[in-house]
Amino acid sequence: MKKDELRKFLEAVKSGSINVDDAVSKFEGMPFEDLGFARVDHHRALRSGLPEVIFCPGKTTSQVVDIFESLARKARPVLATRATEEVHSEIEERIPEVRYDPVARMAFLPDPEIDEKGLVVIASAGTADIPVAQEAAVTARLMGATVETFWDAGVAGIHRLLPKLELLREAKVIVVVAGMEGALPSVVAGLVDKPVLGVPTSVGYGVSFSGLTSLLTMLSSCAAGVSVVNIDNGFGAGYIAALINRGTC
Amino acid sequence: MKKDELRKFLEAVKSGSINVDDAVSKFEGMPFEDLGFARVDHHRALRSGLPEVIFCPGKTTSQVVDIFESLARKARPVLATRATEEVHSEIEERIPEVRYDPVARMAFLPDPEIDEKGLVVIASAGTADIPVAQEAAVTARLMGATVETFWDAGVAGIHRLLPKLELLREAKVIVVVAGMEGALPSVVAGLVDKPVLGVPTSVGYGVSFSGLTSLLTMLSSCAAGVSVVNIDNGFGAGYIAALINRGTC
Amino acid sequence: MKKDELRKFLEAVKSGSINVDDAVSKFEGMPFEDLGFARVDHHRALRSGLPEVIFCPGKTTSQVVDIFESLARKARPVLATRATEEVHSEIEERIPEVRYDPVARMAFLPDPEIDEKGLVVIASAGTADIPVAQEAAVTARLMGATVETFWDAGVAGIHRLLPKLELLREAKVIVVVAGMEGALPSVVAGLVDKPVLGVPTSVGYGVSFSGLTSLLTMLSSCAAGVSVVNIDNGFGAGYIAALINRGTC
Amino acid sequence: MKKDELRKFLEAVKSGSINVDDAVSKFEGMPFEDLGFARVDHHRALRSGLPEVIFCPGKTTSQVVDIFESLARKARPVLATRATEEVHSEIEERIPEVRYDPVARMAFLPDPEIDEKGLVVIASAGTADIPVAQEAAVTARLMGATVETFWDAGVAGIHRLLPKLELLREAKVIVVVAGMEGALPSVVAGLVDKPVLGVPTSVGYGVSFSGLTSLLTMLSSCAAGVSVVNIDNGFGAGYIAALINRGTC
Amino acid sequence: MKKDELRKFLEAVKSGSINVDDAVSKFEGMPFEDLGFARVDHHRALRSGLPEVIFCPGKTTSQVVDIFESLARKARPVLATRATEEVHSEIEERIPEVRYDPVARMAFLPDPEIDEKGLVVIASAGTADIPVAQEAAVTARLMGATVETFWDAGVAGIHRLLPKLELLREAKVIVVVAGMEGALPSVVAGLVDKPVLGVPTSVGYGVSFSGLTSLLTMLSSCAAGVSVVNIDNGFGAGYIAALINRGTC
Amino acid sequence: MKKDELRKFLEAVKSGSINVDDAVSKFEGMPFEDLGFARVDHHRALRSGLPEVIFCPGKTTSQVVDIFESLARKARPVLATRATEEVHSEIEERIPEVRYDPVARMAFLPDPEIDEKGLVVIASAGTADIPVAQEAAVTARLMGATVETFWDAGVAGIHRLLPKLELLREAKVIVVVAGMEGALPSVVAGLVDKPVLGVPTSVGYGVSFSGLTSLLTMLSSCAAGVSVVNIDNGFGAGYIAALINRGTC
Amino acid sequence: MKKDELRKFLEAVKSGSINVDDAVSKFEGMPFEDLGFARVDHHRALRSGLPEVIFCPGKTTSQVVDIFESLARKARPVLATRATEEVHSEIEERIPEVRYDPVARMAFLPDPEIDEKGLVVIASAGTADIPVAQEAAVTARLMGATVETFWDAGVAGIHRLLPKLELLREAKVIVVVAGMEGALPSVVAGLVDKPVLGVPTSVGYGVSFSGLTSLLTMLSSCAAGVSVVNIDNGFGAGYIAALINRGTC
Amino acid sequence: MKKDELRKFLEAVKSGSINVDDAVSKFEGMPFEDLGFARVDHHRALRSGLPEVIFCPGKTTSQVVDIFESLARKARPVLATRATEEVHSEIEERIPEVRYDPVARMAFLPDPEIDEKGLVVIASAGTADIPVAQEAAVTARLMGATVETFWDAGVAGIHRLLPKLELLREAKVIVVVAGMEGALPSVVAGLVDKPVLGVPTSVGYGVSFSGLTSLLTMLSSCAAGVSVVNIDNGFGAGYIAALINRGTC
């Protein structure tokens, strides 16, 4: 119930066009939950800049396309994660301006009113981690963050990380993507005093356990400053990074 | 090697007071690592406001007291986590102004030059989660964050969470501490668009697996916006929250 | 051995047409187990309304069809779970009245003598959880329960749950189906005083561990009132819900 | 806000003693959550017969006693689980009528207005499982269920179970408590068409893994009809059993 | 119902002292389960030589003593496993002839009518595995097996195993007890064509995981002929070995 | 070196046809290991009746056929496990008398000199467990055991087990094959005093964990008398059962 | 920056062709990390004999070929692991001298200046372990080690290991590759006083858990002298073995 | 049997003082295993420099003292690991020259004939890892290695590692001891081309899982050159390091 409606309702009580008993009944009948919904809804209306997201796996191409089209009518940005080329092509037939990042496997429509601000730095440990890192990068940009990336900075070649120190120090928040032993976030957090978001990836074999070891490493980090998201959750990391970055602008 | 020293050195080369061969030797003998160390060190000198921390378990009382005293001579704030009453008493004999939080089990010396700014909101799901939540609160305050807390907001009584919505929306970052099934961070992240730091606790029994279930729940959250730290790591969550909060001020 | 047969046997003893030694031998030779079987069997004959069920995975289409036809001759309802379209088509050629639910992937023959009574409410957290939830719904209906369902009520959007409170309070038993972090059953059980059956699903990725995290969350629930079945076991949840519902009618 | 208060408020609007603008402001200022709280609270006021419960581990004796006394002033039944003899003695000094079950380790105050109805049957597999089973029994009785129990019916001596078939068939719901390999719930659910609540216990050694194996066994049951609660969660099983039982009366 | 009783019952039917209707009723009223119980019971009466066993952990000393005394009145052998010296002393006060093996931690009363026959060979890999191995040895002897043992034959010193080949080849069944990496059963089964029972022990540290690694090693054995019991289950291994040994005599 | 060869060698020393230095050299050159090998080899020559086995997975069809043919030239029985129809056809082209069991997926050549003796009883809990059970049956028969089987005796229908009691009591050893919750071996071992070999299968879903739950259940059995082999290891169980059975004949 | 370059730079400072301010700027602009990189690089230039390695899985054939060609221009040896025949063929079109080992699945270009020295002995437990063992062998040879191998020396046939004792004693380091129960490294380390590198393989089924059991076994080894690499990591084992071997020459 | 004994035996055959039949019998009676034992024994006699080791946990003080004294009579060095102060004192009463390292918790008698050679470098990540690192250091020194150590070089302060590069490059083998996230071995192996032995420690909390995470990290290392021992196995690492080091001298 919007403020205007409430005012009209109360004026109707005052004027007697609704008598008090009916008004009480109407309040009783007006589910508590709807009031709640209205407030939350209003709140959601304020969430401009947050993407409406479709997680593609488990949906048919035509389902994804329908949902994408439906969201595109209402809001920007729109984002479909883990989208195949085929999904992109089908969307493009209906919405020609849709964009596609084949590395991140994302189809999306940016919000033209969002300017990129702040600085999110995204690093990946190995080349195989790049798709997840790129998913974070695209997500953060869609949500209004300036994003800088560098790949292949694994701890086995720590000297490749050092030239990036200046960049890391300028970041508002750093996303570090790593599979296998997942040690890079610890090293980065030991070098700079910025929030570091660790993203374990399922890259590796044997006791990498599809990302579990990398996850446990990041959570056990001896460096303060590292928080962690689910394995391969590039979208989640980009989303949180953009939230943190937005708070700083 | 500072800039001034470098200039003096190069001028000595130029003036001939050091000949080139000796200069080359000096460069060779000047370990690469020391240069590196110097830069990092300078960087560390800028880390004002970050606590020097002692993790007490596994150290004797006298070891903790010695380290605490040593750190206290150099910097503020100083922080000893998981400190017993006995540890506090012993420190107090040498440093009477030391403070102690018996719930968080922390002994500490604040930095008098730090003002509390921004807003970190810290929520705990159950009463048994309070010590971990309080550890986060003390840490964040020592690092310059204004902190608001509320306890006992578990998802089994979701109505207790709703009155806190306004507070949650004002936060720069939210720390949510929960054991057992650990669902609270998901619920909070679904209600507000702020970075949420989930802290699983070892509270629970049976398949709570000393916090593992709570951890997995938080990482699997269907709500975007949640990143997670190690089980019972209240210090880490408070540290990251303060870093994020500082970026917004 | 039925009562009539027993009577005839004892009368034959009495009349001497079977002498006592032969009768003892016959008793000895008559396996104890058959008596047992008879009683249990009689008991099973009373189990009207419980579906005869075929779990299709691992069986060939023709095996499923043969078993289905065989069961259909003896009893109603008949139910084949995780049945493909192909299985349904093949059954339909022999039993044209067979019905099929493509979402639940179930082929079935209802018992025309069963009326739907009571109320089982079935909720799912995400759209990907619907097939499991629908399996529970079809099962419970076949066993005589009135079933109401609502989908997509995940804890990340708790406001979507609140309008359903009235419905939940009217239920005799509630089935809550959730993958990923599996927090919904806790929230529901915190809101209403009804038995809640949690069904974890294998929906999710990374540390969702194919439903394990959701399962552990439900078992660790801080809300009393939640019991849990195996991952993706929509049939089992529907079966138990119908048993509980039947007890209330 | 109660109905009376609402009526008074609306009458004040009507009479003009509150003008419309102030009324709108008051509504705005009246947090949505409080309305919600009121409804839920009212709802909770209806939850007569559900115990107010204190989980003792992790609380000091004086904390437990204080909470117990506070709850005892407001409602019946009151229940403290996993309570030591010492806790009981301390409570008894203040509330002489408190009762104590040393096997279930529970201190409690029954609700004198509750009559025991229906039938909950509780079985345990081994003697070491009895404390958990007894916790379920006391809980269910406090919530108004007639409870019958039998112990030591493990699957290794299946013949000890068979004489209980008649009792099992009369139950509204059956709680089966088992450690080690946890097979008893499957066997019971194969014999009778009643909802079976499996309670794994931490009894066992080696690969019993403190109840995990028993839990997995129950969840993997080849018998339909078994749902499961957390390891050693006798309280939870008794609570759910009483909810189901109450629905049948 | 024993054979004699059945005969009397049928003769009573024949003679007319019980009429047929009453006989049918009596059969009906005679629970199926009792028949079952009788047969199983008879069967159990034949189980001479199988120990009546008390697993002491979780029982008070007086409970163990009472059960021991009760069993001792009915049968031989009697066996209490994981019994402390104190338990033994208490039993000895009432039953002076009780025997005690302090290594195996067992108190027992042999069956004087059992002669030791066949050959069970029991080997342990390390000295720390001896208590479990000795538990197997005492159990097998109580059940009538001739037992030979040798200790400290770990795979890291395979040459210590070779002098025992002749003995191993004479065995009817071999019990191999090993902690840490648990490789000994594979080696033994590769050398002789006898059934090998592997008993993993909780000896070890780190990734020995309290016997789990040893257990998995034995189950994964590349040598055919190894079956396995639970970790530290010396009693179980001795029991099975004695059953196999008895079959060969 | 056979006894005859040794005698000839020593006679050659005695006669001087080999001088002592050459004899010493020959002994030195005769590797210790070869002596060992010879003894073991002799020992292996006695292992008549033990199958030479090829585990097919991971080998090409032509590799399997070559190995099969090679083994067939030397010994009987020959056995290829987990063999496809194609493997069988290829072998048949070269060895027309090869036999094939499509359920057990085994190609084999029996030893015509082996008579079936004793009694191995093999039971399976569910129909999906039959291939593993049949693998055990074929293996045991090839090794000279009389084998009786019955399928579908799961604990959820315990009455189907009871008519088999007599058969179970006649067995020398019982193999029980079960997936899902794996409770059947416990029940069987509680009914009869025979060695029971539990074979967990990977049948099931969710927390069945591809046989792990069934395995843990069997190892945690509260019934003495159960030992266990690896998941799906029908061959291993049949092999051990035949070893035990052979000892009794 | 090489020594020569440094000397030229300092001479330019001395001669005044670079003034001091510019020199300071140049030093400042010359990132600390580059100095570091230079040293490490120089160090890497000394790493002659260490292969440049491409891990093929997850890369397209054309990606592998491009990287291989690029590395081949700079250095020898070049090594692509887990390379398909197709990858090899494509490389061969551009670099005809490329070699391929189909068992190890490696394409490689040896360094013609490396002579094989020392002795690395590589043993595998089963035939299915050979590809991993061969990967270790090819790697060690490319890095300049003389390599001797023997296959099929599993602990179930320990007599096949004994004839290799002399060879094992001559080795500088021993690589032992084993799946299933992974006991062979323990046995080898018990026989000889050489560093043993255990390589668990994913060979096996059931509780072999894709190599985890073998890994745990090797880590739990009761024989001192065994260190372990990741499951199936033949390359890593060969690499370390060659490093150790090189140190001895 | 030594060569001389063999010669005498064969000469006795030649001379007729032993006839051929007796000689054959003697050979037959002379167990194959003893020949084996002799060779291995001779081999063991060559193992000078390898410590005779007592693992103290699970042994009484007097047991340790007896074994220590017995070993001390035969050989040097002697080593008791995880020995308490009390154990040391008791040994000292009998063997005054025994030495004790309270950090490593080792009591030992060095071999006076061993000179320290080569270079083993041992690094630890955190101060809590020092006891394990020191155990490795003492072990390696007892076995003849020159050992250099440095502590507290965790990846969160990577700059502390860099000044040690020169030392690391001089090492023959490097032992890296780390708990928590265990990333240090990867970093070290990325910097130098030496064999790196990773030793995970049980230091940490939460998902450190008593060293498991550190272990998995080390095994998943993206840097070639790292092999790993069991958690907290400082002795094992020192032992292997000394073996490798000895090969280089």
Q: Does the distance separating the beta carbons of E28 and C11 come in below 8 Å?
A: no
- Two tokens at F181? 């919750």
Q: In this model, does residue G92 exceed pLDDT 70?
A: yes
Average pLDDT over residues C117-141: 94
Q: Residues C154-184: pLDDT tens digits?
A: 777 676 787 788 899 899 999 999 999 899 9
Q: In this model, does residue C43 exceed pLDDT 50?
A: no
Q: Does the distance separating the beta carbons of H220 and A216 come in below 8 Å?
A: no
Nearest-CB residue to B13 (from G13, G28, G36): G13
Return the partners of chain A (3 or more C-beta pairs < 8 Å). Answer: B, C, D, G, H
Closest by CA position to C242, among listed C79, C76, C119: C119
Q: Residues A111-165: pLDDT tens digits?
A: 988 889 999 999 998 888 999 999 999 999 999 999 999 987 777 767 678 778 8
Q: Does the distance separating the beta carbons of C204 and B216 come in below 8 Å?
A: no
Map residue A199 onto helix, strand or coil.
strand
> A31 to chain C: which residues are within 8 Å by CB?
162-163, 165-166
Percent of chain A whose pLDDT exceeds 70: 86
Q: Residues D38-78: pLDDT tens digits?
A: 233 333 334 446 777 888 887 889 888 988 998 888 778 99
Q: Does the distance separating the beta carbons of B165 and D230 come in below 8 Å?
A: no
pLDDT at F85: 95
Q: Does the distance separating the beta carbons of H37 and E159 come in below 8 Å?
A: yes
Chains D and E touching, counted as 3 or more CB pairs less than 8 Å apart:
yes
Helix axes H212-219, A212-219, angle to 10 degrees: 130
Q: Does the distance separating the beta carbons of D207 and E233 come in below 8 Å?
A: no
Map residue F99 onto helix, strand or coil.
strand
Show Cβ contacts of residue D33 under 8 Å, excluding neighbours closer than 6 positions.
B159, B162, B163, B165
Q: Does the distance separating the beta carbons of B244 and A224 come in below 8 Å?
A: no
Q: Does the distance separating the beta carbons of E173 and F247 come in below 8 Å?
A: yes
Closest by CA position to E60, among listed E93, E102, E90, E97: E90
pLDDT at G126: 83
Closest by CA position to C136, among listed C190, C216, C198: C198
Cα of G140 to nearest chain A Cα, Å:
20
Q: What is the average pLDDT score of chain G?
A: 84
Residue D16's CB: how many other CB atoms inside 10 A? 9
Q: What is the average pLDDT score of chain F?
A: 84
Q: Does the distance separating the beta carbons of D39 and A36 come in below 8 Å?
A: no
Map residue H122 onto helix, strand or coil.
strand
> B47 to chain A: which residues are within 8 Å by CB?
193
Average pLDDT over residues H140-164: 84
- Closest residue, chain D, to A5 (C-alpha): D24
Helix axes F20-29, F3-15, angle to 10 degrees: 150
Show Cβ contacts of residue C222 under 8 Å, excluding neighbours closer than 6 positions.
B125, B126, B154, B155, B156, B180, B181, C186
D153, D161 Cβ separation under 8 angstroms: yes
> H207 to chain B: which residues are within 8 Å by CB?
212, 215, 230-231
CA dihedral G129, G132, G138, G144 (to 10 degrees): -100
pLDDT at E86: 95
Q: What is the average pLDDT score of chain E?
A: 84
> G11 to chain B: which residues are within 8 Å by CB?
20
Q: In this model, does residue A5 exceed pLDDT 60?
A: yes
HSE at residue G155, side-chain half, CA atoms within 13 A, is 36
Place of tokens 């990251």: B240
D57-62 long-range contacts, Cβ below 8 Å, gap at least 24?
D57/B205, D57/D82, D58/B128, D58/B203, D61/D86, D61/D87, D61/D90, D62/D90
pLDDT at B6: 67
What's the distance, CA A32 to chain centroid? 31
- Closest residue, chain H, to A189 (C-alpha): H156
Nearest-CB residue to E36 (from D159, D166, D208): D159
pLDDT at E167: 92
Q: Residues D77-136: pLDDT tens digits?
A: 999 999 999 999 999 999 999 999 999 999 999 998 888 999 999 999 888 899 999 999
pLDDT at E39: 32
The mean-pLDDT minimum among D4-13, D210-219, F103-112, H79-88 falls in D4-13
Chains G and B touching, counted as 3 or more CB pairs less than 8 Å apart:
yes
Residue E145's CB: how many other CB atoms inside 10 A? 28
- Can you list the positions of beta strands (E) in B44-98? 52-55, 78-81
Q: Does the distance separating the beta carbons of G23 and B39 come in below 8 Å?
A: no
C197, C237 Cβ separation under 8 angstroms: yes
Cα of H231 to nearest chain G Cα, Å:
8
Average pLDDT over residues A204-211: 90
Average pLDDT over residues C73-91: 92
Q: Does the distance separating the beta carbons of D39 and A32 come in below 8 Å?
A: yes
> D36 to chain C: which residues are within 8 Å by CB?
162
Strand order in the sheet with C106-109: C52-55, C78-81, C106-109, C99-101
Rounded distance, CA D221 to CA E94, Å? 45
D221, F154 Cβ separation under 8 angstroms: no
**pLDDT band, very low/low/confident/very high, at F41 (cuts 50, 70, 90):** very low
- Closest residue, chain D, to F189 (C-alpha): D156
Map residue F68 onto helix, strand or coil.
helix
**pLDDT band, very low/low/confident/very high, at D27 (cuts 50, 70, 90):** low
Cα of C184 to nearest chain B Cα, Å:
9
HSE at residue D126, side-chain half, CA atoms within 13 A, is 22
Show Cβ contacts of residue F128 under 8 Å, excluding neighbours closer than 6 positions.
C58, F179, F201, F203
Q: Does the distance separating the beta carbons of C235 and D219 come in below 8 Å?
A: no
Query: Between the CA of residue G103 and those of F62, G97, G234, what are the distances in Å?
Result: 16, 19, 12
pLDDT at H118: 96
Q: In this model, does residue C49 exceed pLDDT 70?
A: no
Nearest-CB residue to C194 (from D173, D229, D243): D243
Q: Does the distance separating the beta carbons of B125 and C217 come in below 8 Å?
A: no
> G207 to chain F: which residues are within 8 Å by CB?
212, 215, 230-231
Angle at H115 between CA H109 and CA H119, to 5 degrees: 105
E98 or A56, higher pLDDT: E98
Closest by CA position to G153, among listed H225, E158, F79: E158
**pLDDT band, very low/low/confident/very high, at F5 (cuts 50, 70, 90):** low
E240, E141 Cβ separation under 8 angstroms: no
Q: Residues C205-228: pLDDT tens digits?
A: 898 889 999 999 999 988 889 999
A243, A208 Cβ separation under 8 angstroms: no
Map residue H106 onto helix, strand or coil.
strand
Q: Residues D139-187: pLDDT tens digits?
A: 999 999 999 999 877 777 676 787 788 899 899 999 999 999 899 999 8
Average pLDDT over residues C121-137: 93
Q: How many Cβ contacts (< 8 angstroms) between chains B and D?
A: 37
Strands G106-109 and G99-101, how do they pair? antiparallel
Q: Is the dihedral of CA D57, D61, D65, D66 positive or negative?
A: negative
> D181 to chain F: which residues are within 8 Å by CB?
182-183, 186, 216-218, 220-222
Q: In this model, does residue G121 exceed pLDDT 90?
A: yes
**pLDDT band, very low/low/confident/very high, at H5 (cuts 50, 70, 90):** low
> H/E/C letters for each residue in G178-237?
ECCCCCHHHHHHHHCCCCEEEEECCCCCHHHHHHHHHHHHHHCCCCCCEEECCCCCHHHH
> E219 to chain G: which residues are within 8 Å by CB?
206-207, 213
Rounded distance, CA E232 to CA H44, Å? 32
What's the distance, CA H83 to chain centroid? 16
Q: Chain E residues with CB-CB distance to D under 8 A?
A: 31-34, 36-37, 40-41, 57-58, 200, 202, 211-212, 215, 230-233
Cis check: omega of the bond before F77, within 30 degrees of 0: yes
H177, H122 Cβ separation under 8 angstroms: yes
Q: Residues F157-200: pLDDT tens digits?
A: 676 787 788 899 899 999 999 999 899 999 899 888 899 999 99
Cα of A90 to nearest chain G Cα, Å:
26
pLDDT at C51: 75
D200, D219 Cβ separation under 8 angstroms: no
Map residue A87 onto helix, strand or coil.
helix
Cβ burial E64-81 (10 Å sphere, 16+ → b, else e): bbebbeebbeebbbbbbb
Chains E and F touching, counted as 3 or more CB pairs less than 8 Å apart:
yes
Chains A and E touching, counted as 3 or more CB pairs less than 8 Å apart:
no
Q: Residues F19-35: pLDDT tens digits?
A: 877 776 665 434 333 33
- Two tokens at G42? 């120089």
For residue H118, the surrounding DSSP H or E stretch is strand H117-124
Cα of G118 to nearest chain A Cα, Å:
28
Average pLDDT over residues E154-179: 85
- Two tokens at A216? 């446990």
